[in-house]
Amino acid sequence: MHIYIQQKLQEAVRQTFPDASLTNVVVRPCPDPRFGDYQSNAIMGIAKERKLNPRQAATDVLAHLDVTDCCETPEIAGAGFLNFRVKPEALARAIAAPLEGAPLFFQPVAKPRTIVIDFSSPNVAKPMHIGHIRSTALGDALARLNRKLGHRVITDNHIGDWGTQFGLLTVGWKSQLDRASLETDALGEMERLYKSVTAAADADPGVREAARQELVKLQSGDPTNLEIWGRMIDLSQVQFDEIYGRLGVQFDHTLGESFYNPELKRVVQELVGKGIARESQGAVCVFSEGVLNPKEDPFLVQKDGEWSPNPALIQKADGAANYATTDLATLEYRWNTWQPDDVIYVTDGRQQLHFRQLFNAWQRWHPELREGMQLHHVWFGSITGDDGKPYKTRSGETVKLAGVLDEAQERAFAVASSKNPDLPEAQRREIARVVGVGAVKYADLSPNRQSDYVFSWDKMLSLQGNTAPYLQYAYARIRSVFRKAGAEAGLNPGLIQLRHADELGLAKRLVRFGLSMEAAASEHRPNYLCLYLYELAGDFARFYESCPVLKSEGAERNTRLVLCELTGRVLKEGLNLLGIEVLEQM
Ligand code: ARG
């Protein structure tokens, strides 16, 4: 709907001001429905550039604008806003379209982009903890959204499978491996080894030296150490895959850090050769280029009122490369392999400096790609307890993700069992799985990703408020309408008559689904889609309260069933884009 009005408006602007750029001529939902359904502030900008009276410019544009087939006469408001009010017949045609095979209130993009999304990326030999839900849920939602909009999406799990931790781990593996617990809980056993050897190394420099030697052996290709390392990766991957299976998350590629090892020496040499990096106290570092405003320069930091160097290490004094070097090699590989238009990294906010430095160093290394490949760090805040501190178990340990999913399902099972004691257990278990996993994901996706949020079982599992169970329940309720309507529920797209204010309100919300998808994708904020779905469910509840569906007849009944059907489709599709399943019955 807004796309049609927008196209018409662009056409009118082109006729009135042939030299005006049309990129800012956009139409958005009207913030206050009393003024209309859609609004554009584009004419004010155009008038300002030309030093014209904005209301006069708006009048001139309106003289060229014909939207009578879809809107009442547009109105000029305030300093030159254009307000549009959609006609009920046009709205009826718009909602009929998906029933006749059109996309569900969104338009696939005209120019698909190639988008690499780097997300989840846990470190090997450590169990995934609750924090991993953030990158995993956000990254997966962005992948689904962009794919749905028609982009070419490539997902890559950049797992941390290389690094100094393997020295300590190998010492532990060789000296105190408990094979039985390796069988039952490999990641738990590796975590135990790591903690135990770290403690030993803190107490005894000899252990630290042993770990260093094991690492050197691994790095120089010692077959035994390579085999142990390979086993640790394989065992970790099994457990990661189990969690990804439960979360319904898939990756196109899992190219861990080690994949880039063969390139690291050359990357360091190239950066040195181009003067981007230089030697400093035996190590090699990237320093400021000295062209940016110090405030924007990631290689400068303010100390005692002075700007001092804040270099990024890319080769340690012992010759080993690190996380930053690997990320440079990874970007080069991604460019060479996929020529992406965008690369999106989904990580914790604490990595902001790393990515600012990475992006800056990369652009100096490959200035010719500055425009061609856009780099985005999509960062997020932490999950906290009631005290505002990072969420921990009572004994102060990090909370394992598998345990969080188990508990969510157990709690959802208790609710499902008390609500539907007569359903077979297998069905209650399935409800619990879909609701439990959905609740954990939605609790993570619905707040602004950059703020911290408090982990709360009661809130995320509540059937009231902006939660997954509330939306899943709204969907299940709609399905039950159709079970009751039975065979008579055949929908007629040609017989839609929107009369009641709540029918109109719901229909107007439905046609905005695509706007919320676009906003969520372009700003990397799935919470926009969450909010839209929550508001949709609210509009539906209002409609369902005031407009009897099954007791109505003829065109009214058809219209209301169509509204139920489309609300169900949008809820299902919207939740699917967030990686959340729905149930026919709850
Ligand atoms: N493994 C890293 C961590 O756990 C995240 C990697 C993110 N991706 C990247 N290309 N640096 O912090």
Segment 141-163, tens digit of pLDDT: 999 999 999 999 999 999 999 98
As a whole number of angstroms, the distance between CA 492 and CA 117 comes to: 41
pLDDT-based confidence at 220, cuts 50/70/90? confident
Residue 318 pLDDT grade (very low, low, confident, very high; cuts 50, 70, 90): confident
pTM of the full structure: 0.95
Q: Please choose from 158, 251, 375, 378 the residue to mutate so as to test ligand 1's pocket, defined by most ligand atoms within 8 A of CB.
A: 158
For the chain, what percent of residues have pLDDT higher than 70? 99
- Chain mean pLDDT for the chain: 95
* CA 492 to the chain's CA centroid: 36
Residue 346 CA: nearest ligand 1 atom is 7
Domain ranges of the chain: 2-86, 114-160+258-380, 165-255, 404-577
Tell me, using a 6 A CB cutoff, whether residue 160 lines ligand 1: yes
The amino acid sitting at 88 is P
CB 276 within 8 A of CB 286: yes
The rounded Å distance from CA 375 to ligand 1 centre is 15
Q: pLDDT tens digits for 328-367?
A: 999 999 999 999 999 999 999 999 999 999 999 999 999 9
Cα 574 to averaged position of ligand 1 atoms, centre (Å): 28
Q: What's the average model confidence in pLDDT over 76-93?
A: 95
pLDDT at 140: 98
- Per residue in 548-573, pLDDT (tens digit) is 999 999 999 999 999 999 999 999 99
**Tens digits of per-residue pLDDT, 444-457?**
999 999 999 999 99
Ligand 1 contacts CB of residue 121 (under 6 A) = yes
Yes or no: say if 459 and 443 are a contact pair by the CB < 8 Å rule.
yes
| Res 487 pLDDT > 70 | no
- Whole-number Å distance between alpha carbons of 521 and 474: 24
- On the question of pLDDT at 298 being above 70, the answer is yes
Q: DSSP states of 461-510 as a string?
A: H-SSSSSHHHHHHHHHHHHHHHHHHGGGG---TT-----SHHHHHHHHHH
Assign domain 404-577 to its CATH superfamily.
Answer: Isoleucyl-tRNA Synthetase; Domain 1 (1.10.730.10)
Contact 571, 510 (CB under 8 A): no
The order of strands in the sheet holding 374-380 is: 152-156, 114-118, 342-348, 374-380
Quick one: CA torsion of 396, 126, 312, 205, rounded to 10 degrees? 80
Q: Which helix (H) or strand (E) holds 581?
A: none
Using a 6 Å cutoff on CB, does residue 123 contact ligand 1?
A: yes
**Cβ of 161 below 6 Å from ligand 1:** no
Question: From atom 11 of ligand 1, which residue's Cα is the shortest distance away?
Answer: 327
pLDDT of 395 higher than 90: no
User: According to the model, what pLDDT value does residue 489 have?
Assistant: 66
- 468-495 per-residue burial string, b: 16 or more CB within 10 A, e: under 16: bbbbbbbbbbbbebbeeeeeebebeeee
Question: Mean per-residue pLDDT for 508-537?
Answer: 98
Percent of the chain with pLDDT over 90: 92
Q: Is 347 in the pocket of ligand 1 (CB under 6 A)?
A: yes
One-letter identity of residue 560:
R
114-160+258-380 belongs to CATH 3.40.50.620:
yes
Q: Is the CB of 118 under 6 A from ligand 1?
A: yes
Q: Is the pLDDT of residue 400 over 70?
A: yes
C-alpha 256 – ligand 1 centre gap (Å): 10
- With a 6 Å cutoff on the Cβ, whether 127 touches ligand 1 is no
Q: How confident is residue 473, by pLDDT bands cut at 50, 70 and 90?
A: very high
Tell me what pLDDT residue 486 has: 81
| Tokens of residue 309, six digits | 């160097």
If pLDDT is split at 50, 70 and 90, which confidence band does 28 have? Answer: very high
Rounded to the nearest angstrom, the distance between the alpha carbon of 121 and the centre of ligand 1 is 5
Q: Alpha-carbon distance 436 to 383, whole Å?
A: 18
**What DSSP element (H or E) covers 465?**
none
131: Cβ contacts below 8 Å, ≥ 6 apart: 348, 382, 383, 398
The matching CATH number, chosen from 3.30.1360.70, 3.50.50.60, 3.40.50.300, 3.90.1150.10, for 2-86 is 3.30.1360.70
Ligand 1: centre distance to CA 159 (Å): 7
CB 258 within 8 A of CB 291: no
Could you tell me the distance, in angstroms and rounded to a whole number, from the CA of residue 323 to the centre of ligand 1?
8
Ligand 1 atom with least separation from CA of 160: 1
What Rg do the C-alpha atoms of the chain give, in angstroms?
28
The pLDDT assigned to 383 comes to 96
